[in-house]
Structure 1
Amino acid sequence: MGKSKARRFRRPSFSPAGQMQPPPPPPEKEADGEAEQGGSPAAELLEKLQHPSADMREYACASISKLMQQKQAIPAFLQRDVVRCLGPMLLDQSLAVRETAAGALRNLSACGGFDVCDDMVTKDVMTPLVALLKECSASLDGSEASPTQNKDTSKNCVEDIANEAVNVLWNVCECNSKAVAIFNKEECLDAVLKCLKKFPTNIDLAVSVAYCLQAVTEDNPELLSSFNASAHQVLESVMLSSDSSMEHVLLRTLVAGTLCNIKDTIPSGSQAGTVNAILKACSESLAIDAGETIIQMNEAEVQRLKLSAEAETEENIGDGDNSVLNEDDGMEEMPKENVKIKNDLSDLLPPNKWELKQATALLLAQQTALEIIVNMSCSEDPSDDEWEELSSSDESDVFMENSYSEGNGKLTSPLCLSAEVHTALLNNLIPKKILEKTAYPNSVAVDVCASNLSWKPLIRKLNMVQCRALTCLHSILLVADVDCLGGTSALQSLAQHLSELIFSQPEFPKNTEFLEAITSALRALLQTMASKDVTQCITPEQLMTLCEAGIHNSNVAVRVNVASILGIAGSVLAKVEYTAETIKMIGKFLLEVVTKDSSLVVVGEALDALFDVFADGKEAEKAAVQIKLLSTLKAFQPVFKMRMRKEGKGQYRPDQLCVLDNVKMNLRRFITYQESLERKK
């Protein structure tokens, strides 16, 4: 699997507070409140961590955890060395303190971002975290007694602590390579796999572990040797589970992602079966109608809350309470206390949000499934803010030079699908399901989410699934055979579908993520159609509307796609009679991009597009004269060289500079070619 950092789609930040019961305020709270008015809340709470009372330490950890959900509060705690203060609390004698301390660190790592996670590793959060995780796994395994006096509740407590610890581990390993190295060195894999074994009875813990495994197995060859037969057996047991809840669908999809990452540990004779198992899990999650699921789950929640309110009313009346509970008020009260932060929620939703939790899990599963398919079906993509692919003239050579080739019987290879992947894609109807997910989300489901504060974050998740599906479609188009996609008629239908996605809305789409995904898919489709001499369905007017909107987008990838689309369309038109006016329009547009765009990557793509459009054909020659192509490029040539000297080394990667050098050389050759044409006239 080839996967760049840019394709490493990161999850949203979550709050662990929804899952933990906040401890009651300790007796000293009232007096402490007066002290806090005159001092720093951060300093006061950190001081309470040293209190001899476990209740007070738990209260301090829970209060810190709550404050960590607010980004503006984090710097004050970091200045007071919160990581080193909370670290010892992970090994406190009280399980409640351990859980709330881990929850506070979880919020810090989730809400603080990359820099904070780096700081946490620098402050040695991994030492107590690894020790805690190993103690938890030993307790779950039954090989060691629980480190607590609360024997009757120790099992559930240990699992809750493990869930918080795994989430901290997941967050820091996603952000910091040193944390991953420590994970390898301390042999944490065994500990997290023991937690994963709890999936039949503790799905929250299992999902957290699955996310963590997906993070630590990515681009981590050192860890591969740890995946022995026993480890494979644990993953296989999850994949073979038949529970149909959305959380289990998410779990199987995440484990499929881990299997994709550790493919090198799979014997060659088992690869076909593993590929099929991975894509089967993806197919199962994509087969579920997310819109209908949201509608059904929302209706179930409304009904449950209504019955709960009625039951509470009857109980109050039975107790002789004369107060009357308004039904609407009763339905609103339950969610109020659970609205913690504006960030999306998933596995951390409170118990009375079961329906929302199921709907969220499904959308996360579908997003993950689409990302897995992208990784299995394409070679390594450069990052989203860089030159994604090269011009059609040099594309194959550079892909062979720069892509991550699996080779040697592995699962994928550059610009082609292995037989195993190809067969599994077709057997599991993956192309059809990807296409279905590219449609706009169910409008009724969107309205349901928009009318409920708790459900509103799902709108973004619905849109995210659509964008991932378009990205997936882009990858499939680059590597799949046309017959596999349904032949010429299917390509034309797909072109019509993509055009409708862009132009059917009352206003032109402005969402950058959607524009990047749709232009990538359209670019790949037009490229495929051009290579097969299939008539292109997008009109010149639509083409220019798209490009006018896209070229002013702040996202470099969108602008690169726009330039490439113009190059592909123009090169096709150059072979058709009476198209000089359209080619002239395309040429003028590309010249403007070349001379005005702030990114050399976009400039390079636009130059390559010009080379393609004006490479050959009488119509192109006419248009070139009318837009003064030769004189404009000759004037721009020294400017391009100067920009490469000034901006190149500081802003672009070595491989990008290599490509730009190639463009510079082709520019010189193209100018020579255009001069020869002029001499012939």
Structure 2
Amino acid sequence: MGKSKTKRFRRPPFSPAGERRQAGGEAEGGEGSPAAELLEKLQHPSADVRELACASISKLLQQKQTIPAFVQRDVVRSLGPMLLDQSLAVRETATGALRNLSACGGFEVCDDMVTKDVMTPLVALLKECRAGLEESNGSLKESKETNKNYIEAIANEAVNLLWNVCECNSTAVSVFNREGCLNVLLQYLKRFHTNVDLAVAVASCLQAVTEDNPDLLSSFDASVHQVLEMVMVSPDKTMEHVLLKTLVAGVIWNIKSTLPSGSQASTVNAILKVLSECLAVDAGETVMRMKEEETERLKTLAEQGTEENVGNGDSMVINEEEMEETPKGNAKGKTDVSDLLPCSKQEVKQVAALLLAQQTALEIIVNMCCNEEPSDDEWEELSSSDESDAFLENSYEEGGGKLMSPLCLSAEVHTALMNHLVPKKILEKTAFPSSVALDICEHSPAWKPLIKKLNMVQYRALTCLQSILLVSDVDCLGGTSVLQSLAQHLSQLIFSQPEFSKQTEFLEAVTSALRALLQMMASNNIPQCTTPEQLMTLCEAGIQSNNVGVRINVVSILGIAGSVLSKLEDTVETLKLIGKFLLEVAMKDSSLVVVGEALDALFDVFADGKEAEKAAEQIKLLSTLKEFQPVFKSRMRKEGKGQYSPDQLCVLDNMKLNLRRFIAYLEKLERKK
């Protein structure tokens, strides 16, 4: 404990739900949901009726409260055969409905879908679509009325559905491996020049299934590498192409072990080049430029007298979970405007693609900085459990333990990061989003969901900054002055927000970065620019957060700062404040994880130094810890097994041992007086 670690990111658990289709006559969701009636219509001999029923179901399945009614009526077994319906329009709407079910229903629903054998018709559909595309050379089954390629539209829905179920179900991944879905998806990916939406869906799915899937790696031969590399080096025609290249870079990183050893360094360099170019795009300027383009386009359409056919872009509200692509609807009738919706918000789609690309790029870089044993719970691996003896002997008897050494980072990755100025670009992304861009989004309903995406890029950049700090040394980051400037930058981010304690995601990200920075500065004896008063303000606000990660970070930050102050003169009063704060956290926090971190911070602060000894005596540290010791043991017995993982319990057991040793150390100091 008392250390921080890079956090590995996984792909988002679900692809966005499809377009909200217009279908007249359906009832609202809830208890009155017409699930039984709609499912019965799926057996109707008329393809138009089946299509309309699928479209109505698809819309209702985007409302979480209606999902249980459909699941109880076995919607998967009813819609499954529709994936292979004679009507291509029915296939598309049925696949879209199942995609919405998987996206809005969550992990349990996806598990149920796999149990109900959604994979059999889905894989068959994917293979039929591939065969159809190959036979037609790209012109298959185009509707004369809508000029629409149904096979590509169906494939897009099917790939998104495949992505969702593979994200949360290992059986689905096994079927993906066994049925050769990789080769099917590669045929879709090759169409990126003409259908970037389909290619983005494929790349997203591939990035998901190539994570922690050793059984699939043998399928990545030279021909597969060639396809992926062809996409990754393609020109950036649109922001969707930027997103596509970024996702493919993530896929190649996941399968890097399948590359010839002689080409790995050049491939890593190519990956970092793509990520660097993605991060170099200014999102704020892009928002402003795209908004101007939207205004001009709509103005031109209005002058041409066609505005009634395309609608006003500002009046179209997109689902907040929508990301890079928006499939076109195909329900028939004059009330169906879904085919027109993507046109009316094409600029929003471009910005959303860029922001997702930048978020993805930052997550890939974080994963590059991780060691090979990732954990979703940072804290459980932060213990000095394998250093218990050294903890007592070195920290107490010889004057202070060592802070964490940098994680291992390969020379190829390190070189590529520096050559492409990636740390500099990450730092730029840690700034708050452009106020002008935020104002544009705030005052336009269609653009408002982008605010969350703009903020998410900043949060990921701060987490990425933490990772870079943990795997780099002072010199490669630019020296002491750069780190001190960085400390001032992070302090400004924190204290420029009067209600920062309420912004949980931001606070967790920025305190993680500050924690890593203070560790680096302390271990290199670099004076810290953040004042004790500022740190106390941060910690007093952060400890009120409901987020355990935030509370762990602020406690650790205070421990790092206190351990530095304990070596300086005239710091008794500040050490007393820090000690009292950490004791209160240890005695009152609802999470044993945070309690353990507070104890570890106390050990760091009061392990050595004359000032620390004086402060410990004045706050009665020894007697307080002796009184607290049985309370801590009791809480571990009562709460431990029911609420914490085996790894966390191991850490807590170690902390219990260290508490006993620290008390013995304090008693030894007292006897010497």
Write the distance in 1 (CA, Å) between the matches of 2:603 and 2:625: 11
The Cα offsets for residues 390-439 of structure 1, whole Å up to 9 and x where unpaired, read as 469959999xxxxxxxxxxxxxx980211101100011100000000000
* Residue equivalent to 2:560: 568
* Residue equivalent to 2:627: 635
Write the distance in 1 (CA, Å) between the matches of 2:195 and 2:431: 35
* Residue equivalent to 2:257: 264
Kindly indicate whether the alpha-carbon contact (under 8 Å) linking 2:8 and 2:367 is maintained by their aligned counterparts in 1. no
Amino acid at match of 2:492: E
The Cα offsets for residues 294-353 of structure 1, whole Å up to 9 and x where unpaired, read as 01001110111111112117xxxxxxxxxxxxx9x99964554x4364434431171221
Kindly indicate whether the alpha-carbon contact (under 8 Å) linking 1:235 and 1:255 is maintained by their aligned counterparts in 2. yes
Write the distance in 2 (CA, Å) between the matches of 1:155 and 1:108: 25
The Cα offsets for residues 118-172 of structure 1, whole Å up to 9 and x where unpaired, read as 1111111111001101111122223999997979999821111000000000011
Evaluate the alpha carbon distance shift between residue 571 and residue 38 of structure 1 in structure 2; reply closer, same or farther with a 3 A threshold: closer
Evaluate the alpha carbon distance shift between residue 271 and residue 475 of structure 1 in structure 2; reply closer, same or farther with a 3 A threshold: same
Write the distance in 2 (CA, Å) between the matches of 1:264 and 1:217: 12
- CA shift, 1:59, in A, is 0.6
- CA shift, 1:560, in A, is 0.8
Structure 2 gap ranges (5+): 327-340, 392-404
Write the distance in 1 (CA, Å) between the matches of 2:225 and 2:557: 44
- CA shift, 1:99, in A, is 0.3
* Residue equivalent to 1:402: none
Evaluate the alpha carbon distance shift between residue 139 and residue 592 of structure 1 in structure 2; reply closer, same or farther with a 3 A threshold: same
1:679 matches 2:657: no
- CA shift, 1:10, in A, is 1.8
1:428 matches 2:406: no
| Greater CA drift, 353-362 or 142-151 | 142-151
1:542 to 530, 534, 541: 534
1:83 matches 2:76: yes
Write the distance in 2 (CA, Å) between the matches of 1:262 and 1:82: 36
* Residue equivalent to 1:654: 646
2:595 to 596, 599, 603: 603
Identity %: 72
Write the distance in 2 (CA, Å) between the matches of 1:464 and 1:425: 22
Evaluate the alpha carbon distance shift between residue 397 and residue 174 of structure 1 in structure 2; reply closer, same or farther with a 3 A threshold: farther
Cα RMSD (Å): 2.8
- In the TM superposition, what are the counterparts of 1:304-315 in structure 2 within 5 Å? 304-312=297-305
- CA shift, 1:388, in A, is 6.4
Amino acid at match of 1:498: L
Amino acid at match of 1:673: Y
Structure 1 gap ranges (5+): 314-326, 399-412
Evaluate the alpha carbon distance shift between residue 387 and residue 519 of structure 1 in structure 2; reply closer, same or farther with a 3 A threshold: farther
* Residue equivalent to 1:17: 19
Evaluate the alpha carbon distance shift between residue 652 and residue 433 of structure 1 in structure 2; reply closer, same or farther with a 3 A threshold: same
- In the TM superposition, what are the counterparts of 1:29-40 in structure 2 within 5 Å? 40=33
* Residue equivalent to 1:490: 482
| Greater CA drift, 36-45 or 240-249 | 36-45
Evaluate the alpha carbon distance shift between residue 667 and residue 175 of structure 1 in structure 2; reply closer, same or farther with a 3 A threshold: same
Kindly indicate whether the alpha-carbon contact (under 8 Å) linking 2:139 and 2:149 is maintained by their aligned counterparts in 1. no
Kindly indicate whether the alpha-carbon contact (under 8 Å) linking 1:4 and 1:383 is maintained by their aligned counterparts in 2. no
Write the distance in 1 (CA, Å) between the matches of 2:127 and 2:175: 13
Size of the aligned set, in residue pairs, is 640
Name the TM-score, length of structure 2 as normaliser: 0.90
2:37 to 37, 44, 48: 44
1:243 matches 2:236: yes
* Residue equivalent to 2:401: none
Report the secondary structure of 1:417's partner residue: coil
Write the distance in 2 (CA, Å) between the matches of 1:460 and 1:137: 36
The Cα offsets for residues 47-72 of structure 1, whole Å up to 9 and x where unpaired, read as 11000001110010011111111111
Kindly indicate whether the alpha-carbon contact (under 8 Å) linking 2:141 and 2:150 is maintained by their aligned counterparts in 1. no
1:141 to 131, 134, 144: 134
| Greater CA drift, 341-350 or 488-497 | 341-350
Write the distance in 1 (CA, Å) between the matches of 2:167 and 2:122: 15
Amino acid at match of 1:294: V
* Residue equivalent to 1:253: 246
Evaluate the alpha carbon distance shift between residue 392 and residue 425 of structure 1 in structure 2; reply closer, same or farther with a 3 A threshold: farther
Kindly indicate whether the alpha-carbon contact (under 8 Å) linking 1:7 and 1:381 is maintained by their aligned counterparts in 2. no
Evaluate the alpha carbon distance shift between residue 153 and residue 449 of structure 1 in structure 2; reply closer, same or farther with a 3 A threshold: closer
- CA shift, 1:116, in A, is 1.0
Name the TM-score, length of structure 1 as normaliser: 0.89
Write the distance in 2 (CA, Å) between the matches of 1:121 and 1:622: 64
Amino acid at match of 2:321: N
Kindly indicate whether the alpha-carbon contact (under 8 Å) linking 1:140 and 1:155 is maintained by their aligned counterparts in 2. no
Report the secondary structure of 1:17's partner residue: coil
Report the secondary structure of 2:500's partner residue: coil
1:618 matches 2:607: no
* Residue equivalent to 1:584: 576
Write the distance in 2 (CA, Å) between the matches of 1:598 and 1:37: 37
- In the TM superposition, what are the counterparts of 1:368-517 in structure 2 within 5 Å? 368-379=360-371, 380-384=373-377, 386-387=379-380, 389-390=382-383, 415-517=407-509
Amino acid at match of 1:298: K
Write the distance in 2 (CA, Å) between the matches of 1:106 and 1:395: 51
